[in-house]
A and B are shown apart, each in its own frame.
Chain A
């Protein structure tokens, strides 16, 4: 009889728990990530291996350890101005277009869905702040959400290591918007005030965030399976103004993924509602709440 390696069934169970609770999938070829991601937690709690962890997590009293395990397995990689060309498109094309479209209301709402540790939301804030003379009498609201409470706390703190601060951030912006505190770099309070962070699961939002003019949901949907992804697209469509814009990761596209959005003709890397006025109805698998 052939037996699986001791941790193989444990990794499958943990991957299943991650998908059930967060929607994020880990392909079997990447199950090795689970062992790597959970190694510090096993050490901290003196749990010998993944099999033992699964046994501990089967006790409903250990919900907080389960949350801790899920958070450790989430991919929270983030950096400033990730995909510079897309942020250039936001600055030079999307924001000027929206400034015309909202010239009466003078309000813009931006949602960074899956904001991780805040670099993306602060990058958006820097775009506005660096051109603040154009937005002086506007209300700019930037909301960053993430399923992980841990990363939301880090985003709120706006404190980044030397390694994190220079990933994607120009030295000009680093000196302009961050102060140095020991080995860390801390965000300027003026930028911190421009962004509101809160813990939310985009698949099951606890609060109604309202409608947004721009939604950035980058490198999030790629971790979802097809059914979960179609639910997420429907949520995003419902949260976007009819003439709003959706920005995905550089390697992501709506093509063959959803018919709720289509590429804009004039703005590189940005998507708009395929049928303005329609809300979350698709010929693809039906979304549910």
Chain B
């Protein structure tokens, strides 16, 4: 079973994402911000990170840059999942090392297809 870390400060989004991911046979863990997510990755590197942009303590971009610098941090596929839907934001995320980008709101088909694109579903 693949593992996915859902990083979002919204409990509702984490719940929705968890539900979809579990139907896609992922083992899901959660973090409420980038700092919690980094701690989690230090303990166990997931196969995929589903990452929000704006979060308290540590945002998505800061987390992504930090993740890519730690040992083993180049391995997880990072899929941004955010309400930031401008071309500039998307380009910046890809340049920072994200593998895919989902604009909220999303549904199961969208998430499934993006996970297929990064080779995790």
A interface list, Cβ under 8 A from B: 79, 81, 84, 162-163, 166-172, 174-175, 179-180, 183
Contact = CB atoms under 8 A, between A and B. Distances in A.
A175 B94 contact: yes
B117 interface: yes
A166 B85 CA distance: 11
A172 B100 CA distance: 8
A171 B94 contact: yes
Given A163-B107, A167-B110, A180-B87, 11 more contacts: A79-B109, A81-B113, A162-B85, A166-B102, A166-B103, A170-B100, A171-B100, A171-B101, A175-B94, A179-B87, A180-B86
Given A175-B87, A175-B94, A180-B87, A84 B101 contact: no
B10 to A, nearest CB: 19
A170 B91 contact: no
A168 B113 contact: yes
Contacts of B117: 84, 170
B84 to A, nearest CB: 12
B87 A79 contact: no
Contacts of A169: 113
Interface of B: 85-87, 90-91, 94, 100-103, 105-107, 109-110, 113-114, 116-117
A79 B113 CA distance: 10
18 contacts: A79-B109, A79-B113, A84-B113, A162-B85, A163-B110, A166-B101, A166-B103, A166-B106, A169-B113, A170-B100, A171-B94, A171-B100, A171-B101, A172-B94, A174-B90, A179-B87, A180-B86, A180-B87
Contacts of B105: 163
A81 B90 CA distance: 20
Nearest to A170: B117
A84 B116 contact: yes
A163 B111 CA distance: 11
B90 A166 contact: no
Contacts of B94: 171-172, 175
Among A81, A168, A179, A183, chain B packs the most CB atoms within 10 A around the CB of: A168
Contact of A167 (B86, B87, B90, B113): B113
A167 B108 CA distance: 10
Contact of B103 (A162, A172, A175, A179): A162
